[in-house]
Amino acid sequence: MQHIDEARLEKDLDYRFQYLCEFIGFGESDIHTILNSAPLLAGAVPGLVEAVYVKLHGYDATWRHFAKVQSGYAGAFVVDGATPNFKSDVIGFRREKLTKYLVRLVTGPYDGKMVQYLNFVGAMHTSKAGSKEIEVPLVQMNVLMGFVADAMTATIFTFDILPEDKLSALRAFGKLLWIQNDLINRHYQA
Ligand code: HEM
């Protein structure tokens, strides 16, 4: 039996990431599979981003979070009623950020900076981890993760590759999303 320093899991991000990878069984071959699927997934990213924003626009409980000034967005913030228009520049800006996130997931590199980025993406959605601008309740993070995971599965299923490579890709992305899920959820602890 291995000893895990539980207090360290909470304060040392690299140690936590290593533990997540080891426990879930996310390793070099998964990273290799993910990087290899970049050319196949690249074409699917715009559709995936579109589907996410259509989904987020479908509920007031999710769309309301886009009614605030967005960090890093320097353009005019035009709001249509209480919320930004689906086609507004600010939403275009947000879509670009999500595009960059997905592209980074499939292009790597999987180094310490990537771990910090995955952790930052979780932290920035909650004031519990110091985000000043937004407070997205955990339920919304979870439902969107579920939606993204399912969309990934459906996309990978369409790849014209050997069945065993398809299974490897499904497993690699599944594991990665569970790791991201932990790096979201950890910031919501009281
Ligand atoms: C699957 C889970 C999610 C992922 C992977 C994700 C990813 C991201 C990324 C990559 C950014 C930009 C980070 C940067 O500035 O570089 C971001 C920002 C943002 N996300 Fe999410 N997001 C998720 C869930 C949600 C949900 C459910 C909502 C709303 C209901 C939301 C609302 C926002 C908002 C409003 C910002 C802008 C924050 C700001 O500019 O201050 N996100 N998200």
Provide the pLDDT for residue 69: 65
The pLDDT value given to residue 180: 98
The encoded tokens of residue 40 equal 């196949």
Q: Are the C-beta atoms of 157 and 189 separated by less than 8 Å?
A: no
| Rounded CA separation 176/21 (Å) | 9
Q: What are the tens digits of pLDDT across the range 98-154?
A: 999 999 999 999 999 999 999 999 999 998 887 887 899 999 999 999 999 999 999
Distance CA 39, CA 184 (A): 27
Give residue 181's pLDDT: 98
Give me 163's structure tokens. Answer: 């069945």
pLDDT of residue 23: 98
Is residue 163 within 6 Å of ligand 1 at its C-beta? no
CA distance 89 to 91: 5
Tell me what pLDDT residue 57 has. Answer: 92
Amino acid sitting at position 70: Q
What are the boundaries of each domain within the chain? Answer: 6-188
CATH pick for 6-188 out of 1.10.490.10, 3.30.460.80, 3.40.50.360, 1.10.8.60? 1.10.490.10
- 148 CA: nearest ligand 1 atom: 1
Distance, CA of 11 to CA of 65 (rounded, Å)? 29
Question: Using CA atoms, how far apart are residues 88 and 80, in angstroms rounded to an integer?
Answer: 9
* Residue 90: predicted pLDDT: 80
Q: How far does residue 97's CA lie from ligand 1's centre (Å)?
A: 8
Q: What is the tens place of the pLDDT at every residue in 72-88?
A: 766 666 555 567 777 77
Specify whether the CB–CB gap between 4 and 19 falls below 8 A.
yes
**Ligand 1 in reach of 70 Cβ (< 6 A):** yes
Q: What is the pLDDT of residue 94?
A: 87
Of 136, 144, 46, 123, nearest to 92 by C-alpha is 46
Cβ 98 under 6 angstroms from ligand 1: yes
**H or E segment and range at residue 83:** strand 83-84
Q: How many CB atoms lie within 10 A of CB 65?
A: 18
**27-74 pLDDT, tens per residue?**
999 999 999 999 999 899 999 999 999 999 999 999 999 887 667 766
- Nearest residue (by CA) to ligand 1, atom 38, is 70
CB-based contact 184:124 (threshold 8 Å):
no
Per-residue pLDDT tens over the stretch 1-15? 999 999 999 999 999
